Structures are given as structure tokens and as C-alpha cells.
């Protein structure tokens, strides 16, 4: 399935189409987050609104590895088009939802389609560009997420104030249609020569094992002690999955792929940086707004700085890995991530907003270097007929790592908050009305308790960053894009 012979004139157009599809999936989370208060006010069901995001992420997570393998077996274009079609149908129905339950169901359908978009778009780019070229493209690909992070909230706010909230979902239709049209015209995929069998048992076990794992991570606070049972059943599912994949003719997850150190390190590294970055992205806005009493814009600016340095570092890192090695890049990215993560609680203790911006800038640079290195190394190591599942595994690992990091750091926060505090102290501090109703002494005591808990959360995030650096040492010595031993990792 090596399509690297694509015409030089068509490749930039295929790249643009893939980036358009990726942008559609990337902006979905940020634009919906902005509109959710308006949606809840219209549809009701406030107690269920968390599932608007949870159902989407859950469905996306379980489908990513399945789509990745199907793309290896039946072709990138065909499987990607199916995913985009499901995503657009779900988007259309979301706009017509008349209840929160219906919206959650349609968001799950959206997520089932979204699982194809990022991994297969990335795989197509990996197919048509050589390893050295892929390294140079990482800045462009990372910029998709940076633009989505900035444009999503602005566009969402504009839509809900000037139009109906349904439009935020329908905006996907022209974007998706343009991506499909461009790929239909410009991407000429080689025909597959032999029939393949689908590992239905493996796919079912992936849904059970991965689905329950993500459910436990995303809903740990709601499930309470039931989380342990859900994790246990998920663990049994993974054991059965391994047993099934050892005997399947064409396994959904070819286990031998991870005997290659580059792929193993890239997959574990993606999960590690996904967990490490949540200490900043999930909890920093809460600290800035709730503890420091700063406006939303201040917390948003700190995260925006990260979205700027991320693609810049990806661009520079792509060129650096051509001169050095994957291992050097991954270690440098891990060091920067750790420096930023350690600096964050230190500057917060001094109340320095500029210091916060500097810390998140360093973290963004580390994440940009690491993520691009892991993706390029994994795609370059796998043979073409396994590149889809290798890429999908890397994408899934980062998503699962983010969920795990959020769950772990959330547990640290909840355990450290005094049990004597009434209600949800974080929610009270973030709610302007509830915050204004507190007496100065009560506000100071509540902010102090949350400050102490979040301070520990940020140090726990630094430990996760140290773990990401440790994983970088798994990278083999001396490998870089274009190395003679690349493209040899098989399922055997």
C-alpha cells in the first residue's frame, strides 16, 4: 500500500485535504465547549451535559484502533470516507437534537466517525511522503491544532450570539465535503490485490476492553468504587484480546508490531506526554480563575501560548531530527516538558502571570518536539501495510494518556481537599455569583484550601512529565528519518 509515488503536484493538495479533515475533528471539541451553556439552557438536562463530551470521546477512543487496522486491510481512502460520512451524519443530527439524551446519542455517532479522521489522515500523509519529508511537515500538522484551539472558542461564541447553536455542528458539513472532494480527485490509491478477513472477535474485544477503560477514566468521579470493577472487567477484556490476536489470521491488533523499539517507545511516549500535559491544560485555568481570581482571558492566554510554541517546536524539531536522531529529539522534548512542568508550581507560588506564560511556553515546546518525534518514528518504522494501525495506536495512546492523566490528577485534587468543605469548592470559586456571595474570610479559606490541593496537583503533573522523559530513553540510539533499517517492523 505504498503510495509514495503520488505526483509531486498532487501531494500538496492531498496534504491540504488531510489537514482540512483533521481541522474539522480538532475544532469540534473547542467550539462545542463554548456553546455548551447555551445548549444546556435550551435543551435542559444539566446533570447529563458531561456526557456530551464523554460519549464523543468514548466512541472515538474505541473506534480509532479498529479504523486504523481496517485502513491497512481495505484501503485508506475507502475507510476514511466511511468515517467522515458517519461523522457528518452525526453532526447533522446533533443540530436537530431536541433533548440532551438525543444530543448525547448523536455525539456518540459523531465520535464513531471521528475515530477514523485523525489516524487515517495522518497515515495517508505518511504514505505519500518519505520519512525525511514527514519530519519537515510536522509544524504544518501541529498548526492545525493550534489554529483550532484559538479559532474554536471565537467561532463558537460568534455562532451562539448571532445564530442558533445548531450551526456549530452544521459548520462541519462544508469542511467535510471539501475534504472528501479533494481526496476523491487528487488521491489515487493503489488497488489491493487480495481479499482480507476481518477479525470480528478482536474488534469486539477492543470495544469492550478499551471502552470500559476509557469509561473508568472519564467517569471515575461519578462511578466511585465501581471504577475498580469496571477496570477489572476491562483488564479481563485485554487479556482475552491478547489471546485472540495470537490466533487470528489477520489480527485487529498485530501484537508483534510492538517488538520494534521505535514503535514501542513512540506509543508509550505518546501516552506519557498525553498524561503529562493535562496538569497544565485541565487544571491551570481552574487555578488562575478560581484561586488567583483572574479573568477567563488570563487563563486562556497561558494555554494559547502553549498552542503557539507547540507548532513552532514541531517545525524546528522536524529539521533537528534530520541532523541528530529520534532519541535526541525525544529526550530534548522530555527535558523541556519537565522544566516547564516544574516551573509551573514555582511561578504560581509567586503569583506571576508572566511566569505562568513562560512555563506553558516551555511545556508547549517540549510537547511539540516529543509528539512530532514519536509520530514520525512510528510511521517510519512500520511497513506500509501496518502503518495504519501503528499510526492509530499512537493517536489512541495520547488520547488514553490524556484521560489517565486527568483521572489521576483529579484524584489527587479530590483526596487533598478537606472533607469538611461543603459542596464543590472548585465549582463555587469558578461561579461568579456563588463566589461573590461568600464573606471575605470564607472566600480566603476556600481559596486557600483549593490552592493547596492544586499546588500538589501541579507537582504530580511534574512527576508525570518526568515519566515522559524516562520513556524517551527507550528510543533506539542513532535512528533518524531515512535510516536504512526503517520500514521493517512487521507483525511477526
- State pLDDT tens for residues 392-439: 889 888 888 888 888 888 888 877 776 656 666 766 776 667 767 777
pLDDT of residue 463: 93
Q: Are 11 and 159 members of one domain?
A: yes
Nearest by Cα to 332 from 472, 199, 222: 472
Across residues 260-282, what is the average pLDDT? 87
Q: What is the largest CA-CA distance in the chain?
A: 74
Q: How far apart are CA 166 and CA 97, in angstroms?
A: 8
CA distance 476 to 465: 20
| The pLDDT value given to residue 466 | 94
- Take residue 122 and report the three cell numbers written for it: 495522518
Please, which residues have CB within 8 angstroms of residue 99's CB and are 6 or more apart in sequence?
43, 44, 45
Asked if 35 and 105 sit in the same domain, the reply is yes
Domain shared by 423 and 295, yes or no = yes
Q: How far apart are CA 162 and CA 107, in angstroms?
A: 23
pLDDT at 168: 87
- The cell numbers describing 401, all together, are 494518556
Nearest Cα neighbor of 469 from 355, 375, 363 is: 363
The alpha helices in 248-386, defined as continuous H runs, are 261-281, 284-286, 296-323, 326-349, 353-381
Is 48 a domain residue? yes
Rounded to 5 degrees, what are φ and ψ at 489? -70, 125
Are residues 206 and 129 both part of a single domain? no
d(CA 248, CA 60): 24
Query: Residue 146 domain-assigned?
Result: yes
Backbone torsions φ then ψ of 245, nearest 5 degrees: -70, -20
What's phi and psi for 282, nearest 5 deg? -90, -30
Alpha carbons 204 and 188: distance in angstroms, whole number:
32
CATH of the domain at 111: 1.20.1250.20
For residues 237 and 189, the model is more confident at 237
Q: How many helices (H) and strands (E) does the chain have?
A: 19, 0
Task: Mark whether 13 and 99 lie in a shared domain.
Answer: yes
Query: Is residue 60 domain-shared with residue 183, that is, in the same domain?
Result: yes
Backbone angles phi, psi at 5, to 5 degrees: -85, 5
List the domain range (segments joined by +) for residue 204: 200-249
Query: What's the start-to-end Cα distance of the chain, in Å?
Result: 18
Cell, residue 48? 447529563
3-state helix, strand, coil in the chain (%, to 5): 80, 0, 20
In a domain, 457, yes or no: yes
Q: Is 172 domain-assigned?
A: yes
State how many domains the chain has: 3
Same domain (yes/no): 32, 129 = yes
How far is it, in rounded angstroms, from Cα 239 to Cα 212?
A: 14
Alpha helices in 5-75 (DSSP H): 11-43, 50-74
What is the model's pLDDT at position 158? 80
Are residue 300 and residue 323 in the same domain, yes or no?
yes
> Is 485 among the domain residues?
no
Q: What is the pLDDT of residue 179?
A: 93
Same domain, 272 and 395: yes
Q: What is the tens place of the pLDDT at every residue in 42-94?
A: 777 666 667 777 788 888 888 888 898 888 888 889 899 999 999 999 999 99
d(CA 280, CA 488) in angstroms, rounded, equals 37
pLDDT: which is higher, 30 or 28: 28
The answer on 428 and 286 residing in a single domain is: yes
Amino acid at each position: 500500500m505504498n503510495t509514495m509515488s503520488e505526483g509531486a503536484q498532487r501531494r500538496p493538495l492531498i496534504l491540504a485535504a488531510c489537514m482540512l479533515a483533521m481541522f474539522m475533528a480538532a475544532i469540534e471539541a473547542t467550539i462545542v465547549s463554548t456553546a455548551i451553556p447555551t445548549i444546556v439552557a435550551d435543551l435542559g438536562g444539566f446533570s447529563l451535559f458531561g456526557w456530551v463530551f464523554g460519549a464523543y470521546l468514548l466512541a472515538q477512543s474505541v473506534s480509532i484502533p479498529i479504523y486504523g487496522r481496517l485502513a491497512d486491510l481495505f484501503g485508506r481512502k475507502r475507510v476514511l470516507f466511511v468515517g467522515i460520512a458517519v461523522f457528518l451524519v452525526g453532526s447533522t443530527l446533533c443540530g436537530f437534537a431536541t433533548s440532551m439524551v438525543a444530543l448525547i446519542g448523536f455525539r456518540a455517532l459523531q465520535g464513531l466517525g471521528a475515530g477514523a479522521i485523525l489516524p487515517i489522515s495522518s497515515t495517508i500523509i505518511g504514505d505519500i511522503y518519505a520519512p525525511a519529508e514527514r519530519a519537515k511537515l510536522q509544524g504544518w500538522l501541529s498548526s492545525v491544532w493550534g489554529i483550532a484551539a484559538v479559532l474554536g472558542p471565537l467561532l463558537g461564541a460568534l455562532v451562539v450570539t448571532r445564530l442558533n447553536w445548531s450551526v456549530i455542528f452544521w459548520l462541519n458539513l462544508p469542511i467535510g465535503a471539501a475534504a472528501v472532494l479533494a481526496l476523491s480527485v487528487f488521491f489515487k490509491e493503489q488497488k489491493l490485490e487480495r481479499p482480507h478477513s476481518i477479525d470480528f472477535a478482536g474488534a469486539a474485544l477492543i470495544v469492550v476492553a478499551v471502552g470500559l477503560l476509557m469509561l473508568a477514566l472519564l467517569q471515575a468521579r461519578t462511578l466511585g468504587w465501581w471504577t475498580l470493577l469496571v477496570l477489572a472487567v476491562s483488564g479481563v477484556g485485554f487479556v482475552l484480546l491478547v489471546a485472540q490476536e495470537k490466533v487470528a489470521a489477520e489480527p485487529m491488533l498485530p501484537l508483534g508490531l510492538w517488538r520494534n523499539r521505535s514503535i514501542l517507545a513512540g506509543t508509550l511516549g505518546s501516552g506519557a506526554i498525553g498524561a503529562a500535559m493535562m496538569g497544565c491544560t485541565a487544571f491551570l485555568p481552574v487555578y488562575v480563575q478560581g484561586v488567583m481570581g483572574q479573568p477567563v482571558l488570563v487563563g486562556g492566554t497561558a494555554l494559547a501560548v502553549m498552542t503557539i510554541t507547540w507548532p513552532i517546536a514541531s517545525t524546528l524539531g522536524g529539521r533537528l531530527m534530520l541532523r541528530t536522531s529520534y532519541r535526541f529529539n525525544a529526550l530534548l522534548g522530555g527535558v523541556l516538558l519537565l522544566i516547564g512542568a516544574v516551573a509551573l508550581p514555582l511561578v504560581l507560588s509567586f503569583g506571576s502571570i508572566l511566569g505562568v506564560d513562560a512555563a506553558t511556553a516551555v511545556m508547549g515546546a517540549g510537547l511539540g518536539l516529543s509528539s512530532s518525534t514519536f509520530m514520525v518514528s512510528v510511521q517510519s518504522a512500520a511497513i506500509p501495510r501496518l502503518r495504519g494501525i501503528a499510526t492509530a495506536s499512537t493517536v489512541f495512546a495520547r488520547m488514553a494518556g490524556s484521560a489517565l492523566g486527568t483521572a489521576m490528577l483529579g484524584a489527587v485534587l479530590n483526596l487533598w481537599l478537606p472533607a469538611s468543605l461543603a459542596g464543590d469548592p472548585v465549582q463555587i470559586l469558578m461561579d461568579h455569583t456563588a463566589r461573590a456571595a461568600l464573606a471575605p474570610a470564607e472566600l480566603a479559606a476556600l481559596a486557600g484550601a483549593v490552592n493547596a490541593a492544586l499546588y500538589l496537583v501541579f507537582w504530580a503533573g511534574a512527576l508525570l512529565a518526568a515519566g515522559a522523559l524516562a520513556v524517551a530513553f527507550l528510543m533506539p540510539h542513532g535512528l533518524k528519518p531515512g535510516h536504512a533499517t526503517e520500514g521493517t517492523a512487521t507483525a511477526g
